[in-house]
């Protein structure tokens, strides 16, 4: 956290991508971070941590496509960051989010050393929008599945993010679960709701889903997971975190339900632009906090940013509306700013998926009570 003892940085090593997904919210450019520019960014991030007495940093490497830089680049980046962090007495961890399309065995060494032999990737089911340039979603699926298989064979733990679409609602929760868990063997995945981020196009104009249908899908998928997956160590976010939360165990809820994501993250892209997260940094130039290469320090950039003020004020503004009456305010906090902004062009509205969240919270609160009652008998 920015205000706690931990700081999370989403770092776009490049804004370039080798895929051409119809719903992508990023603005693809050819910019890539040089090691010299990485050194400047890291020095300023560590300086900010010194100023706020923050001891630990997690860097989430993303793009564009993070694997468009070579493994040898990451070897040098890892050393550069390790040495800089040691000089400041800080602890740094790294995470990798990649579409895996450029993965080959040359990556295995650095994935083990830098990323703890684990990575995150994305696939939707059915895949309507994820594509290689000029190719079909089916061709993307085939290549992606091959790369996942290779990575797994090398002992890499692969986690998957799946964005729901109209096709997912039509095939239903049972087919969705069977495909991901039984057919593809994915044991740890997270489902995300879509939002029309960045420059508009025809796909994004038709991304919105019926929220009642979406809520029904979530409830049914949660029930299937509770019945078949939970005791078999299958993890599905956000269900596993919500069951923990409603069972009064430690729960790490996703950022969409954080107290204020402005306290938890920043993103920096390959041009040095700083914004709330990867959903903003290339997509909404008007909401950027500034450019790190044009400021002496990250602390000054964040303090002086008018755009960032909007994020910090959002929770206070939302409790002046509907959210104040909500039973789940203390865990939801009004939902995700970018999902709100992509629909309302304002931060000061509640998340458009509010009805989904309430329905899911009620359902999993009740299921957690049933689990507790069963455990007592």
Residues lying near ligand SF4 in the complex (CB under 6 A): 17, 19-21, 24, 26, 63-65, 99, 130, 255-256, 261, 265, 276-277, 279, 322-323, 326, 328-329, 332, 334-338, 350-351, 354, 357-358
**What's the min distance (Å) between Cβ of 91 and ligand SF4?**
22
Nearer to ligand SF4, 144 or 177 (CB): 144
Whole-angstrom distance, CA of residue 207 vs CA of residue 204 = 5
Beta bridge partners, 312, equal: none
Nearer to ligand SF4, 64 or 272 (CB): 64
Residue 290 DSSP SS3: strand
Helix (H) or strand (E) holding 159: strand 157-163
Nearer to ligand SF4, 40 or 329 (CB): 329
**What's the min distance (Å) between Cβ of 19 and ligand SF4?**
4
Whole-angstrom distance, CA of residue 36 vs CA of residue 39 = 5
- Using only C-alpha atoms, the chain has a radius of gyration, in whole angstroms, of 20
Structure tokens at 68: 């468009």
Contacts of 372 (CB under 8 A, 6+ apart): 247
Nearer to ligand SF4, 225 or 265 (CB): 265
Whole-angstrom distance, CA of residue 186 vs CA of residue 200 = 32
- In DSSP notation, 20-73 reads --TT--S-----B--HHHHHHHHHHHHHHHHHTT--EEEEEEESS-GGGS-HHH
**What's the min distance (Å) between Cβ of 45 and ligand SF4?**
17
Strands 290-291 vs 273-275: parallel, antiparallel or unpaired: antiparallel
**What's the min distance (Å) between Cβ of 92 and ligand SF4?**
20
**What's the min distance (Å) between Cβ of 128 and ligand SF4?**
13
Nearer to ligand SF4, 197 or 290 (CB): 197
Nearer to ligand SF4, 234 or 354 (CB): 354
**What's the min distance (Å) between Cβ of 98 and ligand SF4?**
9
Whole-angstrom distance, CA of residue 283 vs CA of residue 267 = 12
Beta bridge partners, 93, equal: 58
Write down the residue that tokens 């205000």 correspond to: 3
Nearer to ligand SF4, 26 or 269 (CB): 26
**What's the min distance (Å) between Cβ of 244 and ligand SF4?**
18
């Amino acid at each position: 956290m920015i205000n706690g003892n931990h700081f999370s940085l989403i770092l776009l090593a490049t804004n370039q991508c080798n895929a051409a997904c119809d719903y992508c919210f990023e603005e693809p450019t050819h910019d890539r971070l040089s090691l010299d520019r990485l050194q400047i960014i890291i020095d300023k991030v560590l300086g900010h941590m010194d100023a706020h007495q923050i001891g630990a940093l997690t860097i989430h490497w993303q793009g564009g496509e993070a694997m468009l830089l070579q493994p040898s680049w990451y070897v040098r980046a890892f050393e550069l960051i390790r040495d800089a962090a040691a000089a400041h007495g800080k602890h740094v961890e790294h995470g990798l989010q990649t579409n895996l399309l450029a993965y080959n065995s040359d990556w295995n060494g650095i994935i083990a050393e830098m990323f703890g032999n684990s990575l995150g990737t994305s696939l939707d089911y059915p895949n309507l929008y994820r594509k290689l340039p000029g190719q079909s979603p089916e061709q993307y699926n085939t290549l992606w599945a091959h790369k996942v298989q290779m990575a797994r064979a090398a002992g890499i733990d692969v986690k998957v993010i799946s964005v729901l679409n109209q096709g997912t609602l039509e095939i239903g929760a049972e087919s969705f679960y069977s495909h991901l868990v039984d057919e593809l063997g994915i044991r740890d995945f997270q489902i995300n709701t879509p939002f029309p981020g960045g420059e508009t196009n025809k796909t994004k104009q038709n991304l919105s889903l019926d929220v009642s249908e979406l809520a029904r899908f979530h409830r049914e998928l949660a029930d299937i997971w509770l019945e078949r997956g939970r005791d078999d160590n299958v993890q599905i976010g956000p269900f596993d975190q919500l069951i923990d939360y409603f069972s009064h165990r430690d729960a790490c809820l996703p950022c969409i339900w954080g107290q204020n994501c402005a306290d938890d993250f920043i993103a920096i892209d390959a041009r040095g632009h700083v914004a709330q997260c990867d959903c903003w940094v290339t997509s909404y130039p008007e909401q950027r906090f500034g450019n790190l290469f044009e400021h002496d320090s990250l602390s000054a950039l964040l303090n002086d940013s008018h755009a960032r003020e909007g994020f910090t004020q959002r929770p206070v503004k939302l409790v002046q509306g509907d959210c104040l009456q909500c039973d789940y305010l203390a865990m939801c906090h009004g939902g995700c700013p970018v999902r709100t902004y992509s629909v309302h062009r304002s931060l000061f509205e509640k998340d458009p998926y509010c009805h989904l969240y309430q329905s899911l919270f009620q359902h999993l609160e009740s299921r957690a009570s049933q689990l507790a009652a069963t455990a007592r008998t």
